[in-house]
Structure 1
Amino acid sequence: MKGQFLTDTGRVRSHNEDSGGIFYNSAGQMLAVIADGMGGHQAGDVASQMTTELMKEAWEKAGEMESPEKMEKWLSESVTRINNAVYEHAMNHEECFGMGTTIVGVACIKDFTTVVHIGDSRCYILNDDGFKQVTEDHSFVNALVQSGEISKDDAQYHPRKNVVLKALGTESHIEPDVRTVCLDPGNKILLCSDGLTDKVEDNELEKILQEEADLQVTGDQMIDLANERGGEDNISLVLLYHETPEKEGES
């Protein structure tokens, strides 16, 4: 499995409240994470960085995950534990009161990947069935879409499209969404903050991802496009490519 993490402050904001990375456990298994922080006085930085660091520490100490069931349990328990840590930090530090962060993470193990998320940062997969969003946004506009009040196209331009209904660290207890999907050689995964998806549509992301380019080049293309269209928000992404066994053997 190849992976690339990229983040960019954008063209408007003075600092980056996003965080993320690609980490490995003791068995060499990969975990990729994106966190998009929110909160005044740069507290969003604290929430997202705490979340990423705590996920990294926990994963590096973790043993081998042999099954989707074990992986789902580990991710759910870890994110719940980290939520409590971020919430307690916010309650004990006045400058951090009300801070929170989205999180989307994937653990890739053999021929499956387990996805965990809270908020509106997204996971997409490109496979033989096409390009699809694996996560469901915990956002105000997505709730309107699901209830049939507005269309998905309307949601893209809704004035409250960035209102998140669920975030890590804002409540003492929260349940993350966790699911496992099959992963075949040649498949690609995209994790990203809304700084990307607010500016680049799904069909455009699919077109870029379909190109046979280096992951760094592909990621730079996506970030450049978001910045060309204003870059009002931080832009972060992880790209993963499930290599064929032959290529894995050669590398």
Structure 2
Amino acid sequence: MNKRGEIMKAHFLTDRGLVRTHNEDSGGIFYNTSGQFLAVIADGMGGHQAGDVASQMATSLLEEKWEQSGKLHTPEATETWISNVMIEINASIFQHAQENEECHGMGTTIVVAIVIGDFMTIAHIGDSRCYFYTEEGLKQVTEDHSLVNALVQSGQISKDDAISHPRKNVVLRALGTEEEIDSDVKTLGLEEDDKLLLCTDGLTDKVLDEELFELMQTTDGLYEAGEKMIALANERGGEDNISLILFQYTAAEEEGEWLC
């Protein structure tokens, strides 16, 4: 079974960027009492430093609830668990914002990946993304809850227009900004050497999907690939914080267990 000291191929990287004075992103890689794997990336928003508060609250509360969770066995149970936890965390952040004037209006995007055996469950709110890399290529498996994506989906603008749209950073759904919120949840199967990328828009606003695919093909290692992604985003301006998690699935040979 996977234990805390055996993170084989999973890395969390974050960078303030070249313009912001502080980092409003948060994230981490965590294990529950059964050694099951969870990764999270959150991108905070709000006046003053409230974005920091929202993203850190989301990550810390998720870590706490995951470490206290029992062993999950099925996609259905995992989807139910993360859906309920998202509701609870949203309520906590929303209440904190209501009770603390300096935090009014704060919120955070969030994307979560839970790996159980040979499947992964993805949950997200906002425009932080999850990409799935397989032998067939790289696919974005989350749908941005953003204004420009809504415009693309309705046919009002093209995907190329969305890249340079002046309101491309307007998020339509965020954790903690409303009393009730829905998260998008889905489960996908995993095969040997599949890779996962979780990231904030500080990366995807600067680096194209094709470039992410090329960097994930590297044989230099996941951590090095992540460093190159951040360096490229900074080379192109680095106006936003940049955070990502890279993970590679490797099935263990003994007793049918797995490593992450």
Give yes or no for TM over 0.5.
yes
**Match for residue 161 of structure 1 among 154, 158, 168:** 168
- Identify the residue that residue 65 of structure 2 maps to in structure 1: 58
Normalising by the residue count of structure 1, what TM-score does the alignment of the two structures yield? 0.97
**Match for residue 16 of structure 1 among 23, 38, 60:** 23
- Name stretches of at least 5 consecutive residues in structure 2 with no aligned partner: 1-7
Matches within 5 A, 1:108-123: 108-123=115-130
- Identify the residue that residue 31 of structure 1 maps to in structure 2: 38
- 1:185–1:245 CA contact under 8 A, matched in 2: no
Distance 2:80 2:258 in 1: 31
Amino acid of the structure 1 residue aligned with 2:125 = I
- Identify the residue that residue 125 of structure 1 maps to in structure 2: 132
- Identify the residue that residue 242 of structure 2 maps to in structure 1: 235
Distance 1:17 1:243 in 2: 32
- Runs of 4+ that moved beyond 6 A: 247-251
Q: Determine if the alignment matches structure 1 residue 219 to structure 2 residue 226.
A: yes
RMSD (CA atoms): 1.5
- 2:250–2:258 CA contact under 8 A, matched in 1: no
Amino acid of the structure 2 residue aligned with 1:163 = V
- Identify the residue that residue 4 of structure 2 maps to in structure 1: none
- Identify the residue that residue 199 of structure 2 maps to in structure 1: 192
- Name stretches of at least 5 consecutive residues in structure 1 with no aligned partner: none
Q: Determine if the alignment matches structure 1 residue 146 to structure 2 residue 153.
A: yes
CA-CA distance at 1:249 after TM superposition: 8.3
CA-CA distance at 1:170 after TM superposition: 0.2
Q: Determine if the alignment matches structure 1 residue 105 to structure 2 residue 115.
A: no
Q: 3-state SS of the aligned residue for 2:239? A: coil
- 1:99–1:169 CA contact under 8 A, matched in 2: yes
Distance 1:249 1:200, change over 3 A: closer
Distance 1:23 1:33 in 2: 9
CA-CA distance at 1:213 after TM superposition: 2.1
Task: Using the TM superposition, name which of 236-245 and 225-234 deviates more.
Answer: 236-245
Distance 1:119 1:249 in 2: 30
- Identify the residue that residue 77 of structure 1 maps to in structure 2: 84
CA-CA distance at 1:244 after TM superposition: 4.3
Amino acid of the structure 2 residue aligned with 1:199 = K
Normalising by the residue count of structure 2, what TM-score does the alignment of the two structures yield? 0.94
Percent identity of the aligned residues? 62
